[in-house]
Structure 1
Amino acid sequence: MSSSTDISALLRRIMRLEDIQEIHNIMGRRAYLHSAGRHDREIEEIWSTRDDVVFEPEDMGAWTKLSSIKKSYVNGNPFPSGTKGLMVEHTLTTPVIEIAEDGQTAKGVWVSPGHETFPVTGGPPKAHWSWGRYAVDFRKEDGKWKIWHLHVLTTFRTPFGQDWVETATKRPDYLPEEGQPQDSIGAADRGVSFNEAYHPDRAPK
């Protein structure tokens, strides 16, 4: 093998490592912006500009166009930056990131332990443990990685003082029914493709 071939292979390996690190940073940046209620900056800075992007958050259905994501997730955000009583942190663990051979697309999955505190009308904010998973497709655009398809899947969401087994069998009234699309941030373009939270009567998928 010639030295030029060795150098070429080494450069490809370095590029793949840099790609993986950039994708780590994108997802970390999304976590920070989401916690701050800055969905506008999230869409502007780290999402693809293509109109075939897809965002499917848990039981809300899926938005399948950039314009509808902006309309619902940005303009319809019920908890924008500055909302009193809001605290949302969805952390990222156990990443698996795979870069396509052509270096132009990638896939990643993460487990996300987190907590949420949402203001509610007529009472104190509601605190929850919220665990889930992320399944994400990425595209490289103008040399930068961008989120292309983002699917958020529920592992469990339970009130702070209640375990997830009890929540699965005796769901609080203010939580939407499992598997039912939510229209709190605007009607989705299509229904839920898959989202199955923990339940003691079934095996995990």
Structure 2
Amino acid sequence: MERDLEIITRKMWIMQQCRNQMGRYQFFHSAKMHQKTAELFANRDDCWIENNDLGFFRGPDGIRRFFVDFHKKMDGDDLRGSFCQHDLTTEIMEAADDLKTCKAVWLSPGVETRRDPKTGKLTSYWCWVKYAVDFIEDCGTWKFWHFTIYSDFFCDYYTAWVDVPYTTSATDDMLAPDETISADKSYVYTKDTVPVLWPKPPVPYKTYERNTLTERQEQEGAV
């Protein structure tokens, strides 16, 4: 009984560290502190971020390219009027019984203000996504290991999402040669999509065996 209580207490501590890390991500991202955002990831070659709008980025160089290079390019030099806020809701989180990893998902309604790349005009957007994140301890700190962003819809403030076809703001020049924009858009809202449970909320687990990306690829017969 004493051992069970110790594990439960340790799990609660781990989950709070991971919860704080995800909160830091949102605050840094909102403040356009892209280098600080990249530093929230574990310094491991097998860490990655996937965004079904923007592509798949592996390792510390890929993380830096996504958060620092791409976002600075998208933001431009003039940050006046720029705005980004993605809230975290509906959290489900589980720490492994072996206390080595943690998994979590969130729904995230978001709003953004960007400059139109053609006109320079400030434009307001709805940007709703889901997050699926694996955490791992790195040098005594719980950090992001695998980080997936699933876009639900993206449209300007004046247009209903039901009236907007799927688009992506990714360009070939932001991708490394071994990285590609995800071909799977089945989780992005369109008038033809049917609701599915994805990403799957984590359930209690003993030790880390797979991530949501691997599970999805196996489900679709890609691996």
Query: TM-score, structure 1 length as denominator?
Result: 0.84
Q: Percent identity?
A: 29
Q: For each residue in 1:149-198, what CA deviation from the matched residue of structure 2 results, as whole angstroms up to 9, or x when unmatched? A: 1110111112101111112xxx4xxxxx54x6712771152331644311
Q: Are positions 1:198 and 2:186 aligned together?
A: no
- Alignment length (residue pairs): 190
The answer to whether the 8 Å contact 2:28/2:37 transfers is yes
Post-superposition offset of 1:82: 6.7
The amino acid across from 1:183 in the alignment is T
The amino acid across from 1:28 in the alignment is G
C-alpha separation in 1, matches of 2:144 and 2:12: 18
C-alpha separation in 1, matches of 2:68 and 2:145: 17
The 10-residue stretch of structure 1 (93-102 or 80-89) with the greater mean CA deviation from structure 2: 80-89
The amino acid across from 1:98 in the alignment is E
Q: For each residue in 1:65-100, what CA deviation from the matched residue of structure 2 results, as whole angstroms up to 9, or x when unmatched? A: 211221342134222797122100011000111111
The amino acid across from 1:95 in the alignment is E
The amino acid across from 1:204 in the alignment is P
Post-superposition offset of 1:128: 0.7
Could you tell me which runs of 5 or more consecutive residues in structure 2 were left unpaired when the two chains were aligned.
Answer: 197-223
The answer to whether the 8 Å contact 1:53/1:64 transfers is yes
C-alpha separation in 1, matches of 2:65 and 2:134: 22
Tell me which of 86, 100, 103 is aligned to 1:90.
86
Write out aligned runs for 1:1-205 (5 A).
6-44=1-39, 46-76=40-70, 77-78=72-73, 79=75, 83-121=79-117, 122-167=119-164, 171=165, 177-178=166-167, 182-183=170-171, 186-188=174-176, 189-192=179-182, 194-195=184-185, 196-205=187-196
The amino acid across from 1:71 in the alignment is R
Distance 1:162 1:191, change over 3 A: closer
Post-superposition offset of 1:23: 1.1
Query: TM-score, structure 2 length as denominator?
Result: 0.78
The answer to whether the 8 Å contact 1:37/1:81 transfers is no
The amino acid across from 1:182 in the alignment is A
Q: Greater CA radius of gyration, 1 or 2?
A: 1
The answer to whether the 8 Å contact 1:136/1:148 transfers is yes
The amino acid across from 1:164 in the alignment is W
